[in-house]
Amino acid sequence: MGRTLAEKVWDEHVVRSVDGEPDLLFIDLHLIHEVTSPQAFDGLRLAGRRVRRPDLTLATEDHNVPTIDWDKPIADPISRTQVETLRKNCEEFGVRLHSLGDIEQGIVHVVGPQLGLTQPGMTIVCGDSHTSTHGAFGAIAHGIGTSEVEHVLATQTLPQARPKTMAVTVNGSLPEGVTAKDLILYLITQTGTGGGQGYIVEYRGEAIRELSMEGRMTVCNMSIEWGAKAGMIAPDEVTYAYLKDRPESPKGAEWDTAVAHWRTLVTDDDAVFDREIVIDAADVTPWVTWGTNPGQGAPLGGSVPAPTDFDDEIDRVAAENALRYMALEAGTPLRDVRVDTVFVGSCTNGRLEDLRTAAEVIKGHRVADGTRMLVVPGSARVRLEAEAEGLDLVFKEAGAEWRGAGCSMCLGMNADTLAPGERSASTSNRNFEGRQGKGGRTHLVSVPVAVATAVRGTLSSPADLAPAAAR
Amino acid sequence: MEKFTTHTGVGVPLRRSDVDTDQIIPAEYLKRVARTGFEDGLFAAWRNDPSFVLNNPAYAVGSVLVAGPNFGTGSSREHAVWALQNYGFKAVLSPRFGDIFRGNSGKAGLLAGRVDEKVVQRLWDYLEAHPGAAVTVDLESRTVTAGEGPDRIEDSFDIDDYTRWRLLEGLDDIGITLGHEADIAAFEATRPGWKPATQKVG
Ligand code: SF4
């Protein structure tokens, strides 16, 4: 019988397999950052262990770094300690680190791909759940906890129970103006936040093949939001074109060898998935969340649902709690919801392509009075490339704030947070209570919807904007 | 890691589904570089609410948390497990856990047992009717028990065999894996040379 993509990659990494025990998998790339690693390095020190493969380990500063005055010492002393601890640990254990001020500094899931370190057929882990992003290249990539970070540092392996496999096939093409973000938000609403649990999901079908690498990363990124262990997309010409000539991608004859191998990384025709979901791309429209988990979403053209719309008692109670927290009335058209802050950024939508889209939508418009808009590039390189194209000027002219690279308001760990009761439209991935700041209310949206919302001050799509004044 | 065989302690009914890791411990509490002291961040947003279950003195000393489905979804932060442990929790029961949270619990020594949704409902009702009542989780027999007489609840919980074994023995994963050093070295010797490296070492 044939094998799925996930099974092929898995099988290539089994160091040891014994009945009744998880497989021991070799890890090709271990990414680390300041928040989930200090206790792991401490563990190594206590046990007198070293980092087994510093050459397969890469660190960057992202979760807790400032996005203004990032060229000055970090103001908050506790945050500074955390970043300095990472620097000391990397120095002591010989790990390559991209610090603030370095062109490769940025969100770990933006940095791996832009360096060309993320390649098809790899196993990639990081102490961050959105490691699933890297699956867009046909890698098995998933988040791990700090105990596992320590395990990988010490052994370059991870004991893992073999997950089940699922195929999500998206037939047809996404309608004009509908993005990868809308697609994944739609899928999570359809399946619920537990829908992917226990599975490595392979996204396939025409609409997936038509996505850019950036769009594929957006889809795989949010696999975790519907509970999946990881998301993957088989590599193809789009993948190879993205990787060609990146700093760390194979060169010369090694490139040809690598591509020849990557071409084998597709699900065989006779392979069987444990579960299959088929969706029609034509059904996807601009999508926004109204609640406090990513499965509580609706079409932008719709309205806030009523708890009584849900048959299941647990869903009904969850909807009641969510509406109370979000201060929303059932039946309100989503387009009438006023937004205070718009955040464009994060590992979901903080790449150059996203910033280009954002600039295109806002050009000739202004951010609405009473609304603020933050644009936070995913990495320092993305920031510099955007500036070289003049995108920063477009944002500033429109009245938006242009920031330094980092996770920023995605998790509200640095100074970029929502005030209590403040409402955001955010291109990030989580709308949990307080995620972007205590008492903050988050609507997850695509980049075009975020920008149109900034211009109108209420949830909107570019189609709602009057033609730009002077372009 | 300490061995876990059985534990009896005050049960805490957390009548909520989809308790994500940002609820268990918000990001602002994640700045510590040690493994202790996270109890202040546990359920931080809810602790200000006088009606929150842990603000009731009868439940404040709780050590067995009974939660609705999708507990621990979201972020990979193991701080969520440490916050529960630092507070005093030894076990969490829920019909469904976030994958990474469940994995982290097993590594850190917090028992995360999957129970039927009906059992959660019965435990909630019982614990709310008897604040401060004890719940026993027995890892050996994989059972959860509470109450006496006609009120008695006795049911099984699910935990995978390997995690159960490691918890029962109190085994550290890294030690086990380092015992397979020869396998790892043999694997490394066969890795293709074109696979990427972050730096040249040695
Ligand atoms: S941008 Fe947000 S989701 Fe992505 S790694 Fe940073 S905190 Fe996590």
The residue from A232, A255, A275 where one domain ends is: A275
- What residues form DSSP beta bridges with A141? A124
The pLDDT > 70 percentage for chain A reads 99
Q: Take residue B122 and report the two structure tokens written for it.
A: 């019965």
Is residue A377 situated within a structural domain?
Answer: yes
- Give the per-residue pLDDT at A320: 96
| A interface test, pick of B177, B178, B190 with most A CB neighbours within 10 Å | B177
Quote ipTM for the complex: 0.93
Total number of domains in chain A: 2
- Give the per-residue pLDDT at A469: 57
B44 vs A189: CA distance, rounded Å: 28
Residues A18 and A133 grouped into a single domain: yes
Q: Is the pLDDT of residue A39 over 80?
A: yes
Residues A266 and A353 grouped into a single domain: no
- Give the per-residue pLDDT at B201: 81
Find the CATH number of the domain harbouring B87. 3.20.19.10
Which domain does B13 fall in, by range? Answer: 6-190
Q: How far is the CA of A347 from the centre of ligand 1 (A)?
A: 6
- Give the per-residue pLDDT at A413: 86
Find the CATH number of the domain harbouring A459. 3.30.499.10
Q: Which of A460, A456, A414, A451 is nearest to A436 (CA)?
A: A414
Q: Is the pLDDT of residue A83 over 70?
A: yes
- The string of pLDDT tens digits covering residues A398-452 is 999 999 999 999 998 888 999 999 999 999 999 999 999 999 999 999 999 999 9
CB within 8 A of A349, min separation 6: which ones? A181, A218, A427, A428, A446, A447
Residues A137 and A41 grouped into a single domain: yes
Task: Return the sign of the alpha-carbon dihedral for residues A383, B26, A334, A284.
Answer: positive
Q: Is the pLDDT of residue A319 over 60?
A: yes
Is residue B61 situated within a structural domain?
Answer: yes
Question: Rounded to two decimals, what is the model's pTM?
Answer: 0.94
Q: Is the pLDDT of residue A252 over 70?
A: yes
For A467, the 3-state DSSP assignment is coil
Total number of domains in chain B: 1
Q: What residues of chain B lie within 8 A of the CB of A249, using their CB?
A: 196
Residues A136 and A238 grouped into a single domain: yes
Cβ atoms of residues B12 and B46 within 8 Å: no
Is residue A374 situated within a structural domain?
Answer: yes
The residue to which tokens 């392996």 are assigned:
A157
- B178–A155 CB contact, under 8 Å: yes
Half-sphere exposure of A246 (CA within 13 A, CB side): 21
- Give the per-residue pLDDT at A73: 84
Is residue A417 situated within a structural domain?
Answer: yes
Is residue A309 situated within a structural domain?
Answer: no
Residues A241 and A374 grouped into a single domain: no
User: What does pLDDT average to over chain A?
Assistant: 96
Distance from CA of B91 to the nearest CA of A (A): 18
Q: Is the pLDDT of residue A471 over 60?
A: no
Q: Is the pLDDT of residue A142 over 80?
A: yes
Q: Is the pLDDT of residue B167 over 50?
A: yes
Is residue B195 situated within a structural domain?
Answer: no
Is residue B1 situated within a structural domain?
Answer: no
Average pLDDT over residues B117-141: 97
Residues A129 and A256 grouped into a single domain: yes
Q: Is the pLDDT of residue A72 over 90?
A: no
Which phi and psi angles does A138 have, rounded to 5°? 85, 30
Q: Which of A164, A161, A143, A165 is nearest to A152 (CA)?
A: A143
B191 vs A2: CA distance, rounded Å: 24
Note the Cα A329 to chain centre separation in Å.
30
- The string of pLDDT tens digits covering residues A265-301 is 999 999 999 999 999 999 999 999 999 999 999 999 9
Do you know the residue count of chain B? Answer: 202
Is residue B129 situated within a structural domain?
Answer: yes
The residue from A245, A275, A305 where one domain ends is: A275
Is residue A291 situated within a structural domain?
Answer: no
Query: A79 in contact with B at a CB cutoff of 8 Å?
Result: yes
Average pLDDT over residues B139-145: 98
Q: Which of A470, A372, A352, A366 is nearest to A419 (CA)?
A: A372
Question: Can you list the alpha helix ranges (DSSP code H) found in B62-180?
Answer: 79-87, 99-108, 117-129, 161-169, 173-178
Is residue B201 situated within a structural domain?
Answer: no
- Give the per-residue pLDDT at B202: 66
The residue from A275, A290, A319 where one domain ends is: A275
User: What does pLDDT average to over chain B?
Assistant: 95
Is residue B199 situated within a structural domain?
Answer: no
The pLDDT > 70 percentage for chain B reads 100
3-state SS track over A143-172: ECCHHHHHHHHHHCEEEECCCEEEEEEEEC
- Give the per-residue pLDDT at A470: 47
Is residue A297 situated within a structural domain?
Answer: no
Is residue B134 situated within a structural domain?
Answer: yes
Q: Is the pLDDT of residue A380 over 80?
A: yes
Residues A41 and A182 grouped into a single domain: yes
Ligand 1: does its nearest atom lie under 6 Å from the Cβ of A428? yes
- Amino acid identity of residue A469, one-letter, is A
Which domain does A167 fall in, by range? Answer: 5-275
